[in-house]
Structure 1
Amino acid sequence: MRYWLFKSEPSTWSWADQVAKGAAGEEWDGVRNYQARNFMREMAVGDRGFFYHSQSEKAVVGTVEVIAPAHPDSKADDPRWECVDIKALEATQRPVTLEEIKADPRLAEMVLVRSSRLSVQPVTPEEWRIVCDLAGLRP
């Protein structure tokens, strides 16, 4: 199993929107960055991810599971763009902010710290464990 982080502007697609989709989940569509798309191509069903609210909140607010491998983005006219489907798993006991993540020396190499603009990014198993601990979740 691999770990990922999915960033979304809450005004566009929020944690509440994701939760409302239930077990059916939703396409993680609209990604128009080759590196982020390539990360989604690497994902497998069962992989886990953090759901991260960008913009003003800038915090991990929940965990998700990949429920469908990369496939054409149904909202794209160009076949180069692909996405995965994800479903909500668990809300954090408390949000883990970008400020907290940046302040933790154990997370200094996290992609979110080094390349915060990337909308889909990998998370190492150790980073997953640390952020889960900070969020009050079982890794």
Structure 2
Amino acid sequence: MNYFLVKSEPETYSWSQFVKDGKTMWEGVRNYAARIHLRAMKNGDMVLFYHSGEEKAVQGIAKVAKEAYQDPTTKEDWSVVDLAFHKSLKKSVSLSEIKAEKKLQNIYLVRQGRLSVMPLGKEEFELIVKMGS
């Protein structure tokens, strides 16, 4: 199993909307590095859902429900995956909390903050989930 983090502006697609929908096609990724990570996702992989913009915090956990396929919103070579709701965190985990944790200093979210899809190690994923429980 692999672990990832995806980012969304809450005004564009919020965690609460995702929970309500139960499942979504994760589209609109237009960065080559993010596309590589998106295409690496496999069914059952765990994904942290992060609000970017003003909020800057991990909200909950999704699961990959369908592996990468052609983004139907474009004819260009971009991909989407389907994500399904897994569970909400008891409390959101802010970017400042993540940056304050020594064990998370090397994750993409801290080092390369503009990336919208990024891998996480199992320990990093579990630590962020623990911080939100």
TM-score after normalising by structure 2: 0.97
Asked if 1:17 is matched to 2:30, the reply is no
Instruction: State the distance in 2 between where 1:35 and 1:83 align.
Output: 14
Q: Is the 8 A contact 1:30 1:76 kept in 2?
A: no
Match of 1:116 among 93, 113, 118: 113
AA at the equivalent of 2:90 = Q
TM-align CA RMSD: 0.7
AA at the equivalent of 1:40 = L
Report the equivalent of 1:107. Answer: 104
Instruction: State the distance in 2 between where 1:61 and 1:117 align.
Output: 18
SS of residue paired to 2:75: coil
Instruction: State the distance in 2 between where 1:27 and 1:129 align.
Output: 25
List structure 1 runs of 4+ shifted beyond 2 angstroms: none
Q: How does 1:26-65 map to 2 (within 5 A)?
A: 26-65=24-63
Instruction: State the distance in 1 between where 2:85 and 2:50 align.
Output: 12
SS of residue paired to 1:44: coil
SS of residue paired to 2:61: strand
Gaps of 5+ in 1: none
Gaps of 5+ in 2: none
